[in-house]
C-alpha cells in the first residue's frame, strides 16, 4: 500500500484482533455463567450456545494466525504489505455463520412477542442476504488477495454488512414497539417493560452501529484497513449480545441481590437467596396500588420458574401483562414445544 505506511495497514488489523480476543474472553465468561445458571434450559438452546462458542473459538484462532503471518513469517517482505494473509478469507465466513443464526433466533423471539409473521420474515431475509454476502466476500478475498484490488468486490462487502445492519435495526425497532404496546400504566409492569426495552436497544443497536461503521469506513477510507477495527469484533458482538440477553433473564424475575452481567445489564446471583414476588391485584379497588408479598426461595428454583407469579382476585385480565411480558421473553428456554421447537427429553 504505497504512500499510506505500514501503520495504516497493520495498525487497524492489530487493534481489531485485540478487540476480538478481549470480547472472546467476555463470551467465555458469559457462556460459563449461562451453563451454571440455566441448567434447565432446552437442549437445543444449549447446543446453540455451544455452536456459537465453537465458531467464536475458530474465529479468534484464525484472527491470531492472520496477524502472525505478515508480522512474523513474512516480516519486512514485500508480500507482507501487498498480499492479504491466507486466514483473512475465513473472517467473513465465520462472522456470518454466527451473525445470521443469531438474527434468525431473535426473529423467532420477535414472532413470539409480536405474533407477526411479516417482521420475522423480513429479518430472516436480511440474515440470509448477509449470509450470502459473507460467503461471496470470502470467495472474493480468496481469489483477489491483493490489498490494492479489494475495491473490486465492494458489492459483496456492502451486501453482507448493510444487510446485517438492516436486520439489526428491524429487530430493535420491532421489539421496542412490541414491548411499548404492552405498557399498562402500572408502575411495576412499566418498570419491567422499560428494563426490557433498554436491554433490547443496547444489544440491538450496538451490532447495527458496528456493521454500519464497518461498511462506511470500508467505502470512505480506501487504501486503508481502518474498517477492520469493527469488522474483526463484529461476530463477538453478536454472540455477547445474545448471551447477555439469555443471562439477564434472572434479573427480570428476581427482586433479590443482583450482580453485574458481563457487558450488559444485570443477572441474579446463583449462590444467593432470591425472592419470589407474588402480586395481588384487586380489581375492586380504584387505585393503581399493588400489594407485594415476598417469599424466600432458593435461586435455583427462581431461575427455573416462569417469573413473577400473579394471583388475580376475580378479574382474569388484571395484571396479566406482567406475566405475559416475562413469559414471552422466558419462553425461549422454558416452553420450546409451544413455539415449534423440540423439548428436552
Question: 208: domain CATH number?
Answer: 1.20.1070
Name the band, by pLDDT with cuts 50, 70 and 90, for residue 328.
low
Residue 326 covered by a domain: no
275/295 Cα distance (integer angstroms): 6
187/191 Cα distance (integer angstroms): 6
Residue 73 covered by a domain: yes
Q: Which range, of 128-142, 185-199, 298-312, averages the lowest pLDDT?
A: 298-312
232/60 Cα distance (integer angstroms): 9
Q: Which pLDDT value is given to residue 252? A: 52
Q: Which pLDDT value is given to residue 174? A: 81
Residue 77 covered by a domain: yes
Name the band, by pLDDT with cuts 50, 70 and 90, for residue 63.
very high
Q: Cβ distance 241 to 27 under 8 Å?
A: no
Kindly tell me the sign of the dihedral angle through the C-alpha atoms of 211, 237, 160, 113.
negative
Name the band, by pLDDT with cuts 50, 70 and 90, for residue 56.
very high
Residue 257 covered by a domain: no
pLDDT at position 292 over 80: no
48/54 Cα distance (integer angstroms): 10
Q: Which pLDDT value is given to residue 338? A: 44
Residue 198 covered by a domain: yes
pLDDT at position 153 over 70: yes
Residue 160, C-beta contacts closer than 8 angstroms, at least 6 positions apart: 92, 96, 130, 133, 134, 136, 137
336/344 Cα distance (integer angstroms): 9
Q: pLDDT (tens digit, 9 = 90+) per residue, 88-100?
A: 999 999 999 999 9
Residue 287 covered by a domain: no
244/295 Cα distance (integer angstroms): 27
Residue 190 covered by a domain: yes
The pLDDT > 90 percentage for the chain reads 38
Mean pLDDT (whole number) for 75-82? 87
Mean pLDDT (whole number) for 314-333? 48
Q: Name the more confident of 28 and 241.
A: 28
Residue 324 covered by a domain: no
**Cα Dmax for the chain:** 82
Q: Which range, of 160-174, 218-232, 269-283, averages the lowest pLDDT?
A: 269-283
Q: Which pLDDT value is given to residue 285? A: 39
Name the band, by pLDDT with cuts 50, 70 and 90, for residue 191.
confident
* Closest by CA position to 86, among listed 142, 34, 134: 142
Name the band, by pLDDT with cuts 50, 70 and 90, for residue 265.
very low
CA angle 216–218–219, rounded 5-degree value: 70
Q: Which range, of 149-158, 161-170, 185-194, 272-281, averages the lowest pLDDT?
A: 272-281
Q: pLDDT (tens digit, 9 = 90+) per residue, 12-39?
A: 999 999 999 999 999 999 999 999 999 9
Domain count, the chain: 1
Q: Which pLDDT value is given to residue 122? A: 94
Q: What's the chain's average pLDDT?
A: 75
- The bridge status of strand 266-268 relative to strand 273-281 is unpaired
Q: Name the more confident of 84 and 273.
A: 84
pTM of the predicted structure, to 2 decimals: 0.72
Q: Which range, of 6-15, 44-53, 215-224, averages the lowest pLDDT?
A: 215-224
Parent domain of 168: 3-248
The pLDDT > 70 percentage for the chain reads 69
Amino acid at each position: 500500500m504505497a504512500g499510506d505506511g505500514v501503520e495504516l495497514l497493520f495498525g487497524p488489523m492489530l487493534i481489531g484482533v485485540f478487540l476480538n480476543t478481549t470480547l472472546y474472553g467476555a463470551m467465555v465468561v458469559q457462556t460459563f455463567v449461562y451453563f451454571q445458571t440455566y441448567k434447565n434450559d432446552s437442549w437445543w438452546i444449549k447446543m446453540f450456545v455451544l455452536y456459537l462458542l465453537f465458531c467464536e473459538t475458530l474465529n479468534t484462532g484464525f484472527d491470531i494466525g492472520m496477524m502472525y503471518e505478515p508480522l512474523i513469517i513474512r516480516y519486512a517482505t514485500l508480500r507482507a504489505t501487498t498480499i492479504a494473509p491466507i486466514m483473512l478469507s475465513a473472517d467473513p465466513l465465520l462472522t456470518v455463520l454466527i451473525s445470521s443464526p443469531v438474527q434468525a433466533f431473535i426473529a423467532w423471539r420477535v414472532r413470539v412477542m409480536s405474533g407477526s409473521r411479516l417482521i420475522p420474515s423480513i429479518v430472516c431475509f436480511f440474515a440470509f442476504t448477509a449470509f450470502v454476502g459473507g460467503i461471496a466476500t470470502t470467495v472474493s478475498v480468496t481469489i483477489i488477495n491483493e490489498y490494492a484490488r479489494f475495491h473490486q468486490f465492494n458489492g459483496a462487502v456492502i451486501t453482507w454488512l448493510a444487510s446485517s445492519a438492516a436486520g439489526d435495526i428491524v429487530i430493535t425497532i420491532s421489539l421496542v414497539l412490541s414491548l411499548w404496546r404492552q405498557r399498562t400504566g402500572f408502575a411495576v409492569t412499566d418498570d419491567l417493560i422499560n428494563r426490557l426495552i433498554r436491554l433490547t436497544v443496547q444489544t440491538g443497536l450496538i451490532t447495527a452501529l458496528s456493521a454500519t461503521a464497518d461498511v462506511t469506513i470500508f467505502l470512505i477510507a480506501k487504501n486503508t484497513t481502518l474498517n477492520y477495527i469493527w469488522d474483526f469484533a463484529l461476530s463477538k458482538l453478536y454472540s455477547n449480545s445474545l448471551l447477555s440477553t439469555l443471562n439477564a433473564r434472572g434479573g427480570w424475575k428476581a427482586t433479590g441481590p443482583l450482580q453485574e452481567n458481563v457487558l450488559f445489564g444485570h443477572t441474579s446471583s446463583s449462590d444467593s437467596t432470591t425472592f419470589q414476588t407474588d402480586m395481588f391485584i384487586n380489581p375492586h379497588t380504584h387505585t393503581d396500588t399493588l400489594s407485594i408479598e415476598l417469599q424466600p426461595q432458593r435461586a435455583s428454583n427462581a431461575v427455573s420458574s416462569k417469573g413473577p407469579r400473579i394471583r388475580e382476585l376475580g378479574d382474569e385480565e388484571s395484571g396479566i401483562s406482567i406475566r405475559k411480558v416475562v413469559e414471552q421473553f422466558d419462553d425461549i428456554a422454558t416452553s420450546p414445544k409451544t413455539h415449534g421447537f423440540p423439548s428436552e427429553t
